């Protein structure tokens, strides 16, 4: 059994991580930390976990956490990087669900997150945890930077086109929509029911924090910097992301895009390329660690349209983190995750 600790288990990502871990066949959940809720039963805060765990929230303590095989950080940006060095000294491996280790350029990180990076040496060794491109590096990683939700949907959607040089990668467009849970559990007027319901709006059009992360992933695949316009939207649903991706075809004819995507993801347990002409739906991945993708070339024109859907809390966060844990500890990659989506 793998002994697991969670730092910051009171948000939506934290409870999703708990929901999946408490039924994982190879996990012994040792501790869940929260300064504000220390002493309270996890099941008291999250009644869906009643009968599945008797763990209580505790104060974060590096020495106690260091007794775990792996520690997940489901914390605000800037928290993990302060504790990770001490955990690594104790031999504990780390999966950070926030952004502390996602960007390789520390100056770029400071620009987007408004603070200097606390451990640039660890930033350099951290592995970006998108298994579909970094599976082998994840196996031996001490620190895994779990990807953001938008970068997961957009990256998986664009990758086959970029890897094969089939489109103009200087003018990519990602038009993405997310459910309200993506904004977190903290109280905010913008996410109140009366504010978000029956409304649909873009936000952070001038620059979202996930933009450099997406560019980094696609740039590695392309072998050079890419150009990307990324516009996120808030839609009145709890879970889910749909990313509509647009790219102009280069002077290459006769490429079977459907076969291209099917071949690229044939052996990926959590990427499902839908049959030709099928429209993806966010409800088809709700609660599941799946990215479902469809690819189109409308009217056989010079634009490729890809639709990519995920559950932002699962393949976009907690599920992907557990997928990475499975890889790191040589477990079946699907362990604890091979379950269908929730309908209705």
Hey, which residues are catalytic here? 149
Handedness of CA 97, 148, 265, 143 (dihedral sign): negative
Pairwise CA distance, residues 82 & 133, whole Å: 28
- Calculated CA dihedral for residues 268, 272, 277, 283, nearest 10 degrees: -160
Pairwise CA distance, residues 332 & 133, whole Å: 18
Note whether 177 and 233 are within 8 A (CB).
yes
**DSSP string over 276-292:** TTPPP-GGGGTTSS-EE
Q: Are strands 291-296 and 303-310 parallel, antiparallel or unpaired?
A: antiparallel
Pairwise CA distance, residues 169 & 220, whole Å: 12
Pairwise CA distance, residues 87 & 294, whole Å: 41
Note whether 72 and 93 are within 8 A (CB).
no
Could you tell me how many residues make up the chain? 344
Note whether 213 and 77 are within 8 A (CB).
no
129: Cβ contacts below 8 Å, ≥ 6 apart: 95, 138, 141, 144, 145, 146, 147, 320, 321, 324
Pairwise CA distance, residues 272 & 267, whole Å: 10
Tokens standing for 268? 């990926």
């Amino acid at each position: 059994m793998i002994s697991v600790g969670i730092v910051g288990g009171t948000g939506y990502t934290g409870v999703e991580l708990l929901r999946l871990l408490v039924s994982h066949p190879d996990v012994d959940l040792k501790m869940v930390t929260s300064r504000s809720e220390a002493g309270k039963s996890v099941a008291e805060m999250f009644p869906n976990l009643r009968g599945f765990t008797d763990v209580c929230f505790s104060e974060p303590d590096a020495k106690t956490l260091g007794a775990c095989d792996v520690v997940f950080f489901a914390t605000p940006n800037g928290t993990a990087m302060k504790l990770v060095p001490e955990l690594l000294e104790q031999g504990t491996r780390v999966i950070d669900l926030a952004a502390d280790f996602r960007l390789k350029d520390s100056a770029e990180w400071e620009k987007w997150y408004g603070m200097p990076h606390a451990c640039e040496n660890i930033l350099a060794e951290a592995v970006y945890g998108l298994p579909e491109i970094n599976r082998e590096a994840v196996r031996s990683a001490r620190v895994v930077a779990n990807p953001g939700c938008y970068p997961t949907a957009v990256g998986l959607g664009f990758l086959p086109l970029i890897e094969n040089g089939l489109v103009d990668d200087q003018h990519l467009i990602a038009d993405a929509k997310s459910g309200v849970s993506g904004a977190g559990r903290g109280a905010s007027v913008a996410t109140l029911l009366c504010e978000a319901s029956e409304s649909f709006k873009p936000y952070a059009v001038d620059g979202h924090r996930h933009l450099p992360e997406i560019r980094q992933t696609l740039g590695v695949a392309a072998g050079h910097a890419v150009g990307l316009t990324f516009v996120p939207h808030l839609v009145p649903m709890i879970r889910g992301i749909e990313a509509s991706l647009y790219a102009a075809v280069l002077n290459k004819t006769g490429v079977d895009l459907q076969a291209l995507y099917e071949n690229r993801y044939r052996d990926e347990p959590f990427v499902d390329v839908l049959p030709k002409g099928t429209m993806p739906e966010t409800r088809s991945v709700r609660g599941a660690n799946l990215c479902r993708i469809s690819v189109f070339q409308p009217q056989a024109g010079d634009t490729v349209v890809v639709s990519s859907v995920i559950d932002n809390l699962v393949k976009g966060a907690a599920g992907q983190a557990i997928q990475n844990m499975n890889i790191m500890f040589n477990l079946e990659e699907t362990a604890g995750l091979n379950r269908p989506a929730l309908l209705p």
